């Protein structure tokens, strides 16, 4: 009962927080910029990601027979990795957007135009789909023999590989290389972007200008940290049998999607102002009247 209540509260709050951000960005024309376009896509992912696993986890807390069909397990793993990988690429795109905005402010409107934003987001989704297909296909091509009981909260690579009746070394290597290379490459690009950003910010003469620039980037850096640490812990240790893996997986899929809207709402003055205008029932441009 306690687990059901905890999962339900986190899930409902996650849906409310992320959907509210999407609605706010759509409603308020002040937020019709590339940064908030990417943020709205991030919020969509944070709605979809826990929806892949949490409803089934809620059902399992009440059911004595915690069953999932083979096809459902395949589907769950595919979408789990689709959304996870898409978020990794999207966070990298958001770092690149901040780099252009701060390091190339005069050219930013021309460089980060609507067409490029659409291409970058579409590319992130396509890359996530390819990644999810590779992981699900390789994992479920292995032979499995009973009892096929996934000792985990959902169907994911580390737990499913432990049920295989064959050597999983190749799968673990592919998981390490695929997820490791993707995550490490994207993380390196993010660090390079922020190295240039910090250098550019330090050149700003006014303290208020530096504060505003750091504030804009602070939310994204916090989200990157919260997202990458559990990801690295789980997937770069695919052969691990530590009971701590399950707890980290729950944090990664249940808690992290809730933290993102909290981070962006509490640290972002523009989003907070837009939310206040919506709560007061004022139109997007009413403050200028």
Confidence (pLDDT) at 272: 78
Instruction: Write down the pLDDT at residue 42.
Output: 92
Q: Please indicate, yes or no, if residue 288 is contained in any of the structural domains.
A: no
Q: How far apart are CA 282 and CA 289, in angstroms?
A: 11
Alpha-carbon gap, residue 45 to 41, rounded angstroms? 6
Q: What are 149-186's pLDDT values in tens digits?
A: 666 677 777 778 777 888 888 887 877 777 778 888 88
- What distance lies between CA 100 and its chain's CA centroid? 22
CA distance 235 to 222: 21
Q: How many domains does the chain have?
A: 1
Low-confidence ranges of the chain (pLDDT < 70): 1, 64, 66, 146-147, 149-152, 209, 213, 215-216, 232-248, 266-267, 282-289
Q: Is residue 289 part of a domain?
A: no
Give pTM, 2 decimals: 0.84
72-97 pLDDT tens trace: 888 888 998 899 889 999 999 999 99
Specify the 3-state DSSP secondary structure of 168. coil
Measured in degrees and rounded to the nearest 5, phi and psi for residue 67 equal -105, 145
Q: What is the structure's pLDDT at 283? A: 54
Residue 52's domain is classified under what CATH number?
1.20.1070.10
Q: Residue 201: which domain range?
A: 2-283
In-domain check, residue 226: yes
The answer to whether residue 240 is domain-embedded is yes
Predicted pLDDT of residue 289:
45
């Amino acid at each position: 009962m306690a687990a059901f209540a905890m999962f339900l509260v986190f899930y409902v709050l996650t849906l409310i927080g992320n959907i509210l951000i999407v609605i706010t960005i759509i409603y308020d024309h002040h937020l019709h910029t590339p940064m908030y376009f990417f943020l709205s896509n991030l919020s969509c992912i944070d709605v979809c990601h826990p929806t892949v696993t949490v409803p089934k986890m809620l059902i399992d807390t009440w059911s004595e027979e915690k069953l999932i069909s083979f096809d459902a397990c395949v589907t769950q793993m595919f979408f789990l990795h689709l959304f996870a990988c898409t978020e990794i690429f999207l966070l990298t795109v958001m770092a690149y957007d901040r780099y252009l905005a701060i390091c190339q402010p005069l050219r930013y409107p021309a460089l980060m135009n609507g067409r490029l934003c659409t291409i970058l987001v579409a590319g992130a989704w396509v890359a996530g789909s390819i990644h999810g297909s590779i992981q699900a296909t390789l994992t479920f091509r292995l032979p499995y023999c009973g009892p096929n009981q996934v000792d985990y909260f959902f169907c994911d690579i580390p737990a499913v590989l432990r049920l295989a009746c064959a050597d999983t070394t190749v799968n673990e290597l592919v998981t390490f290389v695929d997820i490791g290379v993707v995550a490490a490459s994207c993380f390196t690009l993010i660090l390079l972007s922020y190295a240039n950003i910090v250098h550019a910010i330090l050149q700003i003469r006014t303290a208020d200008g530096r504060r505003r620039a750091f504030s804009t980037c602070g939310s994204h850096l916090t989200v990157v940290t919260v997202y990458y640490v559990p990801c690295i812990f789980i997937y770069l240790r695919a052969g691990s049998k530590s009971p701590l893996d399950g707890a980290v997986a729950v944090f990664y899929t249940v808690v992290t999607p809730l933290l993102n809207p909290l981070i962006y709402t509490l640290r972002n003055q523009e989003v907070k102002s837009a939310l206040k205008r919506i709560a007061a029932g004022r139109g997007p441009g009413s403050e200028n009247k």
